[in-house]
Amino acid sequence: MDYVKVERLDNGVAVLTIDRQDKLNALDPQVVEEIGQNLLELQSEGPHAIIITGAGERAFVAGADITAMRGMDALEAKRFAEIGHAAMALLDRSPVPTIAAINGFALGGGLEIALACDIRIAAENASFGFPEVSLGILPGMGGTQRAPRIVGPAIAKELIFTGRRIKVEEARLIGLVNHVVPEGDALKAAKEMAAQIAANGPIAVQHAKAAANRALDVDIISGLEYEADQFALLFATEDAKEGMGAFVEKRKAEFKGR
């Protein structure tokens, strides 16, 4: 891998870093494919949580590589969008929680990566936006679909239609980011949250994510039925017996993922 590296921490947390600092970590087809390939490998390994971030403090991902996109025809652009959608789906629908540690610019494709994560932690120097319409195109890696689900249709449309850039405080106010931390601390804060997640029952966390994602796809009655099924299934696991037993016995649970 030329631009995407993975660090595997001792607590079962994986950190995926996009490192193309000379281009502000901008996305071209190779970078997007590397993101997808690494996420596929991690899926088979079964970490407890995945963090995605950009190398350096200037940019999470400053967007797509415009020089690379400029020469694309319609078919090449469709292929670029398709590999982008596939990679983002691996974040969005990963069995385990995904956290974006956002440092600096999260524009265009960078914002779309962040939106595909379950949780977003941003440094004070972070900024966000969809500049695509100023280039005569539109967000093509899921932005038009995920942004309305996260910040609501009206705000999402305003951001997409105007192309304006917003600072981190506004991003927090509209629910785009979960937490704001001092500049340079986004990855540290993400690791701390990932460690909290990793300390819980891994099967329970995975089923909880599946149930929460289900809410976005079905009506509430169907969602509640799915939740009840997942709730019941967990009572057949060793982890549930260990977790509840540890609570009653006033000790720390030792989950095995079974």
Write down all domains in the chain, each with its CATH number in brackets.
Answer: 4-198 (3.90.226.10), 202-248 (1.10.12.10)
As beta bridge partners, residue 98 has 50
DSSP letters, 49-105, are EEEEEESSSSEEE--B-HHHHHT--HHHHHHHHHHHHHHHHHHHT-SS-EEEEE-SE
Whole-number pLDDT of residue 150: 96
Residue 254, pLDDT score: 92
Catalytic, 112? Answer yes
pLDDT digits (tens, 9 = 90+) for 67-77: 999 999 999 99
List 7, 76, 112, 227, catalytic entry = 112
| pLDDT confidence tier of residue 222, bands split at 50, 70 and 90 | very high
Identify the pLDDT of residue 237.
95
Per-residue model confidence (pLDDT) at position 140: 95
Distances (CA, A) of 188 to 91, 115, 198: 20, 20, 15
pLDDT at 127 over 80: yes
Q: Is the dihedral of CA 138, 144, 150, 154 positive or negative?
A: positive
Say whether pLDDT at 126 is over 90: yes
Q: Does the pLDDT at position 122 exceed 80?
A: yes
Reply yes or no on whether the pLDDT at 1 is more than 80.
no
How confident is the model at residue 98, as a pLDDT? 98
| Catalytic member of 132, 169, 170, 249 | 132
**Residue 132 is a catalytic residue:** yes
Quick one: average pLDDT of 78-97? 95
The arithmetic mean of pLDDT across residues 193-221, rounded, is: 95
Query: Within the chain, what is the greatest distance between any pair of CA atoms?
Result: 65
Q: Is the predicted pLDDT of residue 105 greater than 80, yes or no? A: yes
Residue 102 predicted with pLDDT over 80: yes
